[in-house]
Chains A and B, each alone.
Chain A
């Protein structure tokens, strides 16, 4: 009873209020609309201050082909820019050192004093003594630095699958838990009853399949790939890549191996090769 009375009271009070303020309401709506229109108009008509400054300056307004940055070389924390790039001049070629040797003006001659660096923290993969149905791992770190803004790519391949010193017995590359991983795509491999050899890569610039959500690779070292097998004419595959300049960009590579109880005892070896290629 009290509740319905209260509701009735509020409703009637509101009605009275709105009736009295009807003209005010219309006015406020009109004002709001006007403000909105003004805002839109100002957005359209008045360019921002910075833009106006830009328009007033005649120096870096570019007449194309004339992106006059000067000449030389400077380095930034994230990108390095050649001063010569796009400089005024007909083409990218200029004299360099000798009459029949030209390096593009506006091209890479600035890179001639730069370098591209690549390192591997450990050159021996050592799984120690293997016991059947155990996942054993070893790891190393790849580090890359590239001064040019063209970025880099690191590929990986194996010379042949892990092979016994007898020359014929092999440990096959893993096919991962669901049987779907190969040299191009990483998949989860956590089961010790899935036998084989594979690798995982972790880092900011590693291939996305190592960190994808489908399949779930959220656990950092869960998804594995086969190495591309050179002896089987498989093409080397990208492990890390970036289109940006890199300074000590790293990736941790985890090698994983599991063998069955029937695997012949002995030493198994392969050669893993990483190829670092600069972008242009």
Chain B
């Protein structure tokens, strides 16, 4: 009797254990089943593309061939048909925004292995390396060629259903700046195109300035420079670092910067990118009260320019004059009464 009961208990325990294991196994299997995978895929958008690198700069000697490899990833849920196109771009003269233009420089020379006009399929969650071959032999000028490689992508699935819908498609671009020159040295040169700073300010205002730089050289180069605010004794009271944005050859760009702070640099005096916040086109030296003569020194590449700024309490003077006026008026009024 006792033995029987013991057996029953053991059997119950084993059944429970088995059931638990089976349940766990089912959960695990279900998690990795195609149903779950499909749900995960369904969450990603139908068209999702990434291209790497977003921007590249290639230097090549005249008459030499170059190779440029791009990685295109389809991170979306649908297979895509992709067409490539190459177009020129121009700098917008203010920011690093490429203005695409319709002309093509390398169209016929590019990539013999891949027909530029012929579309290819990139499956969902797949990627493709695209190598472009450039033969610069037929190019005339030794200069910089800003280009954008465009990948027009549309869903194959939505094309099948297009009878009743208007179709949306997407294009992703990668910029390629090709500089053709015999000389591989830096031929970029930055000059100050425009420096905006008021020469007379109120004591309770701040010294605000903005800078536009122009690259008069032959190749793109990063902004290199700083702005220093000095007091009448020549002591530095504030300093701004210009962000090293690229300026294409023969183009201009509004300079961005931020106030130089010790926290921006690590123990090796290297800039900590995580700390780079609040980049602005208009830089501002703030103080509770400004008074007297200040000097703003701009250093950009090899160029230096300084501007004197005079701060006087104009608002106090205005209030004072207004107060005197009111007082005199009141006095006059009182006299007349």
Point out residues on A near B: beta carbons under 8 Å: 39-40, 43-45, 47-48, 50-51, 53-55, 57, 59-60, 62, 64-65, 67-70, 74-83, 85-86, 90-93, 100-104, 106-109, 111-126, 140, 143, 146-151, 153, 155, 162, 236, 241, 243-244, 267-280
Contact = CB atoms under 8 A, between A and B. Distances in A.
Interface residues of B, number: 109
A120 B170 contact: yes
Given A62-B226, A272-B168, A273-B171, A278 B292 contact: no
Contact of A92 (B61, B219, B232, B260): B219
Q: Which of A59, A117, A151 has the most CB of B within 10 A?
A: A117
A135 to B, nearest CB: 17
Contacts of A93: 59, 184-186, 219
Given A91-B184, A108-B57, A120-B45, 12 more contacts: A62-B299, A64-B225, A64-B300, A76-B275, A90-B186, A92-B222, A93-B219, A104-B219, A120-B48, A126-B164, A155-B100, A280-B146
A117 B290 contact: no
27 contacts: A39-B288, A43-B287, A44-B232, A51-B238, A62-B241, A62-B299, A64-B301, A75-B273, A79-B279, A83-B270, A85-B222, A92-B188, A93-B186, A112-B56, A114-B54, A115-B71, A116-B54, A119-B49, A120-B45, A123-B46, A125-B167, A272-B167, A272-B169, A273-B171, A276-B170, A278-B173, A279-B96
Nearest to A150: B96
Interface of B: 44-61, 64-67, 71, 73, 75-76, 78, 89, 95-98, 100, 146, 148, 150, 152, 154-155, 158, 161-175, 177, 184-188, 219-226, 231-233, 235-239, 241, 243-246, 248, 256, 260-262, 265, 268-277, 279, 287-292, 299-302
A76 B57 CA distance: 23
B167 A81 contact: no
